[in-house]
Structure formats: structure tokens, C-alpha cells
Amino acid sequence: MDENKKIVYPYMPNSVESIKKEMMDALGIKNMEELYSYIPEELRMKGKLNLPKPLLSEIELKEHVEGILSKNISCNEYLSFLGAGCYRHYVPAVCDEINSRSEFLTAYCGGTYTDHGKCQAIFEFTSLMGELVDMDVVALATYDGSQAASTSLRMTNRITNRNKLLVPKTMNPEILAHIRNYCDFMTITQVDYDPKTGQMDLEDLRRKISDDVAAVFIENPSYLGFIEENGREIGEIAHEHGALFVVYADPSSLGILEAPANYGADITCGDIQCLGMHMGYGSGLSGYIASKNEPQFIMNFPNHFYSLYENEKGEFGFSRSLNQRTSYGSREKAVEYLGTNTGLWAITAAVYLSLMGPQGMYDLGKNIISKAKYAVEVLSSIKGVKVLFEDSTNFKEFILNFDETNKSVEEINKELLRKGIFGGKDLSREFKELGNSALYCVTELTKKEDIDRLAKELSDILS
């Protein structure tokens, strides 16, 4: 660097030469290199990093980054029917207000006293989720739904000491891929479904279950959109064989759909992105795990617990508890590992559920399920378009099959894109047996006109 042109960096107060010198004098050194000159020469960087010329001013940085971002077209600009694990729900303004607060945004692992408010907000998250899923034990949010599912299944292995898992053939392939990697010592068998309804084939389940199965896992609503109605029967079959019953449930459905605990789930898990998080290209995902209030469940959670306690003055405090389970309390003896995951999203979900209340969650569910039904009816009336699993009820997603048209999903989606619409997720590679199909999604943000517009554009494209 040119000696005459020393840069003072706004994020680095001590980059002022005179301050640096004062501090170096205090340490009795003449140049910065003396601080690390003991590091062997062969390990040290020769020359300097080959990086682009810096954008030192905030103006240049803003122009540059916003310039790149402007190449994106968002779901605010185009009409989107994408779901499949990440959803465009309405984010109440209060959610954004709270999660942009410096205090929450930049806090970290402070505890009982310094971060009392954060601890309380997290306790409220677990409490609110507890009501939504009707279970007593909920941990601080984990990375995402797929991690929540994988951890839930490893918990069942630790609790039952069994190694086999039964999962639906209709399940989310991304989550399945995660489970395959995370639970690689377990045997995973997929249970068939009724081709008319998508519902788990109970006969096949009975054939495949045995006394060495750790857990039967289902999604409700399913990845493919239908509501699984035989939860109780599935749970009973699992329990008859000493297996646990794990349900992956979409929280946005739980205002109208029964909490899995009430049809036999031992563990409920899922993703809370739908509870107040923007999509952010997938950044908004965050997982939850809830269980029965029994020691063998509790001690097998790898996640943080913020437990409430009360003093004689009636004050509440919160402390991270049972840490011996976690990799903050011990090392390889921990159940799985634990790291920083999604605290801010837990707090945001607490805000969301507080705003919505029981009536809000009920209204949300009704709104979505009505639109899904409307969409199914309107779109299935398009020539050549079929809705699969039509004998089941859809919550917010449904499959459109285009086998009877002469176009592939890819082609259809390209044409929709030209009309400013993001068509549904292409399923033709993930689920070959479903043919030329796509997974469409509606939420409370989808208007009737949007569905009508999609119907019109599809008719045009397919005619």
C-alpha cells in the first residue's frame, strides 16, 4: 500500500495510525508483524491476497450490491405458485420490526441476566409452539425442518435402541436425502401409498413393520399436498410394535388440523418458516421439535432448553438447562452435536403466534384450505390437466399432472415464466411414477384472481 495514503476503515476504530502506534508502543513492538512473527515462515502468506479492489465507501458498496440484486426477479414481482418446503406467507410488519431490533439481531449466547429478554422470548417460542402442537416439551429451534426430522428420528433410535425407520414414499426428497446422510447407520424403508389418494398404504405398512422398527414417520400435510387422514391408525400400528410415531407437521395447518399428539405422535417436528419468516432464497427456514414430557425423550434432545424458574419475589428467570446432553456441556458424549442455529427465527415465530392467536391460526388454515380447493377445482377443469390424489383433501399444495398435454412441466413453466408466473415445482424427476407432474402451492397471499389468471394462462399454453 502507498505509505502516504493510509486508509482509515469505518468499521475499525484503531486503524488510525496514531492509535495503532500508541498500542504498539505499549507492547514494545515496532511493526505489526512482530505480533505473529513466531509463526513459521512456511505457513505465512507470501504477498497479499488477490482480491478485487475494495469498495470503501458505503455509496459504492450499496450501488454494487444492489446492482447485482437487481438482476433477480422476486415473488413480489411475479406471481408464484412455488412451495415444496419454502412458502410465501404473509409476514406481519411487527415480525420484521422485532427481528430487526439491534438487541435481538446482534445478541448471541448471553444467559440468564444479560439476555433475560432473549431468554424469555425463546421460552415464549417454545411455550407457544407447545400449545400449537399440544405437547409439553419443545426445544429451541434447530436449523430447518429436515434437521428437525433427522434429529427426531435419531432420538427414536436412542430411545428404542432400534435401527429401522419406515417413511412414506410420498415424502419430501430433500428431507429424505438429509435423513439418509444424518441417520446413515439406520435402515430406511419407504411405505407405499394408495395411488388414488396418496394416503399411506396401511397394508404395506403392516407388511413392513416389525419389532425392530424404531419409528414410523409421516408428513402431515404430505409433501405432495394431501392431508394424511389415517394418522391414528398409523400411530397405532407403530405402537403395537413398540415403535415410536413421528409426525412432520406444517404449523400453518394446525389452526384447523388436529395436533399430531392427539392422534398418537410421540414426537412432532417440522419447519417454522411459515410463521413470520421471509423466504430469503431459503434463508428463512428453521426447524422445531416437540415431544412428550418424559425423561427419555427430554434427555435425547440435542438442542438447547431454556427452562423457567421463579424466585420468592415471583420474578421469572430462564436458564439453559440439562446441558450435559449437548455439545456445549460435553464433547463427544453429547447426543449429536449442537451449534448456533436459528434463534432469531424462533423469536420471530413467537411474535407471529402471539399476533395470530387461536382465531388467527384458525382463519389462516381456513383461508388456505379453501383456496387450495378452489384452485384444484378451477385448474382441474382445464383440458389435459389432471389433479392427482383427487380423493384426498389438499391443504396448501396439490399436484397438477400434464400427461395428457403434449408439453413437459419444464416447457410449461418456461412459458408461464414469460407471462410473469412461477409455475409449480417440477416433480417429473423426483417422482417418476407421477409422470409429468408439478407441485403447486397457494397460501393466504394467493388471491382468487391469481388462481383465475393461472388457469387462463395454462389454458392458453396448453391449447
Partner 1 sequence: MAKKLGLIVNPIAGMGGRVGLKGTDGEETLKKALMLGAKKEAPDKAKKALKYIRENIDEIEILTYPSDMGQNECIELGLNHKVIGEIHYEMTTYKDTEEAAKRMMENDVDLILFAGGDGTARNICSIIGDKIPVIGIPAGVKIHSAVFATNPLNAGRIVEEFFKNPNMELRESEVMDIDEDEFRKGRVAAKLYGYMKVPYQRAYVQSLKSGGIYSDEISLEGIADYVIENMEKDCFYLIGAGTTTRKILERLKLPYTLLGVDIVKDKKLVLNDANEKDILRIVDSNKFKIIVSPIGGQGYIFGRGNQQLSPAVIKACGKDNVIVISTPGKIASLKSKPLLVDTGDDEADEMLKGYYRVIVGYDEIYVYKCS
Partner 2 sequence: MGKIKLRNFHQARWDEPIIFELSTPGQRGILLPEIDDEIVDRVGDAEEIIPKKVKRNKKPQLPELSQPQVLRHFLRLSQETLGQDINIDIGLGTCTMKYSPKIHEQFVRNPKFSELHPLQDEETTQGILEIMYKTAELLKEISGMDAFVFQAGGGAQAVFSNASILKAYHTDRGEGDKRTEIITTAFSHPVNAAAPHTKGFKVITLMPDEETGYPSIEALKSVVSDRTAGLFITNPEDTGIFNVHIKEMVDIVHEAGGLCIGDIADANGLFGIVRAKEMGYDMCHYNLHKAFSSPHGSMGPCCGAQGVKKFLEKYLPVPVVAFDGEKYYLDYDRPHSIGKVRMFYGVVAAVLRAYSWIVSLGADGLKEVSELSILNNNYLMKRLLTEVRGISAPYSKERFRMEQVRYSWEKLKEETGVGTEDVERRCMDYGLQEFYQSHPPYLVPEPFTPEPNETFSKDEIDEYAEIMKKVSQEAYENPELVKTAPHNGPISLIPQPPITDPEDLIVTWRVYKKKKGID
Footprint (CB under 8 A) of partner 2, residues 371-400: 371, 373-374, 377, 393
Q: How many CB atoms lie within 10 A of CB 262?
A: 12
CA pair distance 248, 256, nearest whole angstrom = 16
By CB under 8 A, tell whether 161 contacts partner 2. Answer: no
Residues 6+ apart with CB under 8 A from 342: 141, 142, 143, 144, 285, 286, 287
CA pair distance 38, 434, nearest whole angstrom = 64
Radius of gyration of the chain from Cα atoms? 26
Q: Enumerate residues 330-369 that contact partner 2 by CB under 8 A.
A: 330-332, 334, 336-347, 350-351, 353-367, 369
By CB under 8 A, tell whether 202 contacts partner 2. Answer: no
Residue 60 contacts residue 66 (beta carbons within 8 Å): no
Residues 6+ apart with CB under 8 A from 347: 98, 99, 104, 118, 121, 122, 125
Shortest separation between residue 246's beta carbon and partner 1, angstroms: 26
By CB under 8 A, tell whether 255 contacts partner 2. Answer: yes
By CB under 8 A, tell whether 82 contacts partner 2. Answer: yes
Q: Enumerate residues 18-77 that contact partner 2 by CB under 8 A.
A: 19-20, 22-24, 26-27, 32, 34-36, 38-40, 42-45, 48-56, 58, 61-62, 64-66, 68-76
Residue 443 contacts residue 368 (beta carbons within 8 Å): yes
Give the three cell numbers for residue 260: 399430531
Binds partner 2 by CB under 8 A, chosen from 79, 156, 162, 178: 178
Which lies closer to partner 2 via its Cβ, residue 212 or residue 426? 426
Beta bridge partners of 306: 320
Binds partner 2 by CB under 8 A, chosen from 79, 147, 209, 409: 147
By CB under 8 A, tell whether 166 contacts partner 2. Answer: no
Give the three cell numbers for residue 342: 436459528
Q: Enumerate residues 410-439 that contact partner 2 by CB under 8 A.
A: 413-414, 417, 422, 425
By CB under 8 A, tell whether 295 contacts partner 2. Answer: yes
Q: How many CA atoms lie within 13 A of 79 on its CB side?
A: 20
Which lies closer to partner 2 via its Cβ, residue 210 or residue 293? 293
Q: How many CB atoms lie within 10 A of CB 162?
A: 21
Shortest separation between residue 109's beta carbon and partner 1, angstroms: 9
User: By the criterion CB under 8 A, which residues form the site for partner 1?
Assistant: 111-112, 305, 319-324, 328-333
The binder of 108, among partner 1, partner 2, none, by C-beta within 5 to 8 A per type, is partner 2
